[in-house]
Amino acid sequence: MMKIKEHCGIFATIGDRSVKYTYEGLKLLQHRGQESAGISYTEGGIKTVKGLGLVEEALNESEVLQIRSKFSIGHVRYSTTGKTTLQEAQPLNNDKLSIAFNGTITNYFEFGNYKTDTEFILDFLSKEIKEGKDIVDAVKHFMDIADGAYSMVILDDKNRVLAVRDPKGFRPLVMGKIDENMVFSSEDSAIKQLGGKIIKDILPGEIVLVNPDGKLLSEKVPSTSFHTCAFEYIYFSRADSKIDGISVYMARIRLGEILARNHPAKADIVVPIPESSRPIAIGYSRESNIPLEEALIRTIVSKRSFIMPTNDKRKSVLEEKFGIVEDAVRDKRIVIIDDSIVRGNTMKRIITLLRNSGAKEIHVRVGSPMIRYPCYMGIDFPNRKELIASDKKEEEISKILGADSIEYLTVKEMKEAIGKESLCSACFTGIYPLKRNYSLQIMENVFNR
């Protein structure tokens, strides 16, 4: 049936160019979600436009840009079922509230028979408000009972916008200004690209309320520990973003440098698997003095392999994703770098390509630790049985992939590279920094129904 794990990007704008900036912002967050896009705004009441696909496919640009509202929130969604429906697309609204949400409410299933966690948030907040609670108090109550990851923006029928980051700060959320417009974005790169200034990262546990007149109110619920998702740095965010003060690009360079220092290989060239592993490969090449060779060419038609609904489809997409420069790899000993290995499809395919092109030796070096556990905080990592590293050692994985060797970073090395001790590394360690312990068995059933 339904999986609700999802990556997402969110954006909100308060000001004269609200819908324009929200629309443009979503396009600049497209890497965070390509399955659907939507914008909620107020015009009399709350209205929402949304559709399936990329922002430009999902929303009619000329129609959207005619909307004059000063209050809007937007969402790009990246579900993984392959059968994203318009119903699941966000923002999700009723006549009181609209919500655009990035993360996963780990314990949403305990509160009723909800199809998605977003539906649960909307329902919970709406009930509280109906009972007479102030919206900030309603959000605080939600933060008290909810477990998991949630960076979200909320628009209400009184033209108020709220930006909320969960008390552990799993997912990023940034506040900024573009000319006179106040904006919130999953990543700062989108704000900067629109010519704006960054004001700050929303803090873990912080609620920022923007009143219709632009007045700000900030409240904070207690945050016991900070757990930015390590994978935001490794793969998910744009390389030109800064998350909680750390440059994603520079973190990736350091992942590569430490990988080279602690996991060397005797080789002639370093080859990145584009796009996300490029800075990691640059770091590896610099530190090892082995030249970088762009021997894999990502084709422009390439679809996103990871989000295809079945493994067969994922594999067939991979076939058209990369071309290879045979003359660059023939008779060479190669260090092939990827940011991560999840199921192993990408690496297996590429090793076959390299072998067929006459590579002499292939040493796989991975810019993250072994992904051994599912994520219930907003990144789509599947069941343990689909994760190639869940129950295997390096040697066995190397054999399955057809490599001569494989080495991953350790969790300690990864934290050193990123430069932050307080990261969520649940997918590597199985230690979930949630409020409660959940049985992995039960969670796998809930999230893979």
What is the DSSP-derived secondary structure letter of residue 234? I
Q: Which two tokens stand for residue 56?
A: 């430009």
- Minimum distance from residue 274 beta carbon to Mg ion (Å): 7
Q: Give the binding range for Mg ion (CB under 5 A) out of 3-11, 257-265, 273-281, 391-399.
A: 273-281
Q: Considering the complex, state which of residue 150 and residue 235 has its C-beta at the smaller distance from ligand 5GP.
A: 235
Compute φ and ψ for 397, nearest 5 degrees.
-65, -45
In angstroms, the CA 331 to CA 352 distance is 15
**352 to 130, 197, 319: CA distances (angstroms):** 59, 46, 11
Q: If binding is defined by CB under 6 A, does position 170 make contact with ligand 5GP?
A: no
- Minimum distance from residue 273 beta carbon to ligand 5GP (Å): 5
Binds ligand 5GP (CB under 6 A): choice among 339, 359, 443, 447: 339
Q: Which of residues 214-273 bind ligand 5GP (CB under 6 A)?
A: 235, 273
Q: Give the binding range for Mg ion (CB under 5 A) out of 112-120, 251-259, 276-284, 324-332.
A: 276-284
Q: Give the binding range for ligand 5GP (CB under 6 A) out of 37-45, 119-127, 246-254, 341-349.
A: 341-349
In angstroms, the CA 200 to CA 113 distance is 37
The conformational region for residue 196 under phi > 0 = left, psi -120 to 50 = alpha, else beta, is beta
Q: Considering the complex, state which of residue 20 and residue 32 has its C-beta at the smaller distance from ligand 5GP.
A: 32
What is the DSSP-derived secondary structure letter of residue 205? T
Q: Which two tokens stand for residue 421?
A: 């001790």
Q: Out of 8, 229, 375, 424, pick the active-site residue.
A: 8
In angstroms, the CA 337 to CA 406 distance is 10
- Minimum distance from residue 175 beta carbon to ligand 5GP (Å): 26
Q: Considering the complex, state which of residue 29 and residue 273 has its C-beta at the smaller distance from ligand 5GP.
A: 273
Is 337:270 a contact under the CB 8 Å cutoff? yes
Q: If binding is defined by CB under 6 A, does position 79 make contact with ligand 5GP?
A: no
Interaction partner, residue 185 (ligand 5GP, Mg ion, none; CB < 5-8 Å by kind): none
Q: If binding is defined by CB under 6 A, does position 84 make contact with ligand 5GP?
A: no
Encoded one letter per residue, x for contact with ligand 5GP by CB under 6 A and - for no contact, window 281-310 reads -----------------------x-xx---
Binds ligand 5GP (CB under 6 A): choice among 119, 128, 188, 380: 380
CA dihedral 103, 105, 106, 111 (to 10 degrees): -170
DSSP β-ladder status, 333-338 and 269-272: parallel
Question: For residues 223-254, b (16+ Cβ closer than 10 Å) or e, as one string?
Answer: beebbbbbbbbbbbbbbebbbbebbbbbbbbb
Q: Considering the complex, state which of residue 304 and residue 449 has its C-beta at the smaller distance from ligand 5GP.
A: 304
DSSP β-ladder status, 361-366 and 405-408: parallel
Rg (CA), the chain: 22
Q: If binding is defined by CB under 6 A, does position 341 make contact with ligand 5GP?
A: yes
Q: Chain-centre distance of CA 87, in angstroms?
A: 21
- Minimum distance from residue 154 beta carbon to ligand 5GP (Å): 26
CA dihedral 323, 325, 326, 329 (to 10 degrees): -120
Helices (H) and strands (E) in the chain, counts: 16, 23
- Minimum distance from residue 221 beta carbon to ligand 5GP (Å): 29
- Minimum distance from residue 316 beta carbon to ligand 5GP (Å): 13
8 is catalytic: yes
Is 323:295 a contact under the CB 8 Å cutoff? no
Residue 293: its H or E element: none
Burial of 210 (0-12, 13-18, 19+ CB in 10 A): buried
Encoded one letter per residue, x for contact with ligand 5GP by CB under 6 A and - for no contact, window 319-338 reads -------------------x
What is the DSSP-derived secondary structure letter of residue 292? B
Q: Considering the complex, state which of residue 178 and residue 347 has its C-beta at the smaller distance from ligand 5GP.
A: 347
**202 to 153, 205, 210: CA distances (angstroms):** 11, 8, 13
Interaction partner, residue 70 (ligand 5GP, Mg ion, none; CB < 5-8 Å by kind): none
Interaction partner, residue 334 (Mg ion, ligand 5GP, none; CB < 5-8 Å by kind): none
Q: If binding is defined by CB under 6 A, does position 6 make contact with ligand 5GP?
A: no
Q: If binding is defined by CB under 6 A, does position 340 make contact with ligand 5GP?
A: yes
Binding residues for Mg ion, per CB under 5 A? 276
| Binding footprint of ligand 5GP on the chain (CB under 6 A) | 235, 273, 276, 304, 306-307, 338-347, 379-380
Query: Annotated catalytic sites, by residue?
Result: 8
